Amino acid sequence: MSIPTAPSPPRYWRGIPQHYRLEAVKAESGEVMFPPRAVASDGSHSSELYALPHEGSLIAFTILHEAIPGFAVDPPFAVGIVELSDGTRLSAQITGVNLDQISIGMPLRYAFRKLQEDGVAGTIIYGYKFVPNAESAED
């Protein structure tokens, strides 16, 4: 038995604002939520959309040697938790850099990349990855 590991087309389409544009939600309290949540930590309900900054730095990472079937790159590849310049954190693949040159604190920026191939109904899945932010590194 095999099971689909990619989202169905409608589920993928619904996620496009987040996965293509890093669209988060901001509560009245100022809390930024990514993934967006219906209710914030202080109980406030808010649906104000908020565009996340595209630059940040790496706060945790690992080199994956076993991956889920269907991903566009074969292991080993890097994944990490990125803290964006406004303090919001997200999880992403780290690419565009040799695996042995990835380090905590390295400056990163958003990149639009292919994540999965041959998903349900042949969909190709795109989303965000993070790459070294050369401009910032030269500062």
Partner 1 sequence: MREVAIIGIGQTRFGELWERSLRDLWAEAALTALDEAKVPRIDAVYVANAASALLGGQQHLGSLLAGHIGLAEVPATHIEAAEASGGAALRQAYIAVAGGMADYVLVGGVEKMTDLESEYQGYIQTTFGDQDFEGFNGITSAALYAMIAQAYLAEYGATREQMAMVAVQAHAHARHNPYAQFTNQIKLETVTRAPALAEPLRMFDAAPNSDGAAAIVLAPADEARKRGLPIVTIAASAQSGDLLALHSRKTLTSFPAAVRAAQAAYKQAGVTCSDISVVELHDAYTIAALLALEDCDFFARGQAGAAVEDGLTAISGRVPMNPSGGLKAQGAPLGAIGIAQVVEITRQLRGTAANQVPNARVGLTHNVGGVGGTAVVHIMKGEQP
**Measured distance CA(112)–CA(70) in Å, rounded:** 18
Does the footprint of partner 1 cover residue 101 (CB under 8 A)?
no
Site for partner 1 in 35-64 (CB under 8 A): 35, 60-64
Contacting residue, 25, 26, 93, 107, with partner 1 by CB under 8 A: 93
**Measured distance CA(71)–CA(117) in Å, rounded:** 6
E-strand stretches of the chain: 23-26, 32-33, 48-51, 55-64, 77-84, 89-94, 107-116, 125-132
Under 8 Å between Cβ of 94 and 61: yes
Does the footprint of partner 1 cover residue 67 (CB under 8 A)?
yes
Site for partner 1 in 105-134 (CB under 8 A): 115, 125, 127-129
Chain residues that interact with partner 1, rule: CB under 8 A? 1-3, 5, 7, 11, 15, 18-19, 33-35, 60-69, 71, 76-77, 79-81, 89-93, 104, 115, 125, 127-129
